[in-house]
Amino acid sequence: MKIGELSKQTGFQIETLRYYEKQGLLQPVSRTDSGYREYDVESLKQLKFIHQAKSVGFSLNEISELLTLRVERDQHSCSEVKNIAEQKLEQIENKITELSKMRDALYVITDACCGGDEPATTCTILSALDDGSKQVGAKLS
């Protein structure tokens, strides 16, 4: 199949598919005489793999690594694969922790604000951000 068809079947934009090729994530199976890219069902499977990997947070570089492990399954161990996954898991957890701290801190100062129509002259949110003497959310982290 040609690139437009692959795009339709996978939901990836044509430009994105060409970009993935440049990044080494998906090579066309061949080219027609006129230079058109040709793909097959393997391409489809690979793109599903890429989609799944993206959905759990892997970057394109990491997916590239995973794809190598995938095609060379025999030469690689489960631990290699699991290491990559656990590393990513840790990154995601760290990000969640960081965002949770932000949320907690922001919640505290937002909740304290009346939110009414009166002028913000003594608005607790502005005051809290103004107050450089202590870290916002210090109590929570």
Name the residues that contact DNA, by CB under 7 A: 2-5, 7, 13-16, 18-19, 28, 32-37, 54, 59-61
By a kind-dependent CB cut-off of 5 to 8 A, residue 88 interacts, out of DNA, a copy of itself, none, with a copy of itself
* Distance of closest approach, residue 117 Cβ to DNA, in angstroms: 29
* Residue number, 33 or 138, with CB nearest to a copy of itself: 138
> Which of 74, 71, 137 is closest to 105 using CA atoms?
137
| Site mask for a copy of itself (CB under 8 A), range 13-42, x = bound | ------------------------------
Secondary structure class of 58 (helix, strand, coil): coil
Residue 43 and residue 27: Cα distance in Å, rounded? 8
Q: Nearest 5°: phi and psi at 133? A: -70, -25
**Rounded Cα distance, 11 and 127, in Å:** 47
11 binds a copy of itself (CB under 8 A): no
Residue 38, classed as helix, strand or coil, is: strand
Question: Among a copy of itself, DNA, none, what binds residue 73 when CB lies within 5 to 8 Å by partner kind?
Answer: a copy of itself
Can you tell me the distance from the alpha carbon of 72 to that of 66, in angstroms, rounded to the nearest whole number? Answer: 10
CA atoms within 13 A on the CB side of 120: 7
Footprint of a copy of itself (CB under 8 A): 44-45, 48-49, 51-53, 55-57, 66, 69-70, 73-83, 85-86, 88-89, 92-93, 95-96, 99-100, 102-103, 105-107, 109-110, 113-121, 123, 125-126, 128-132, 135-137
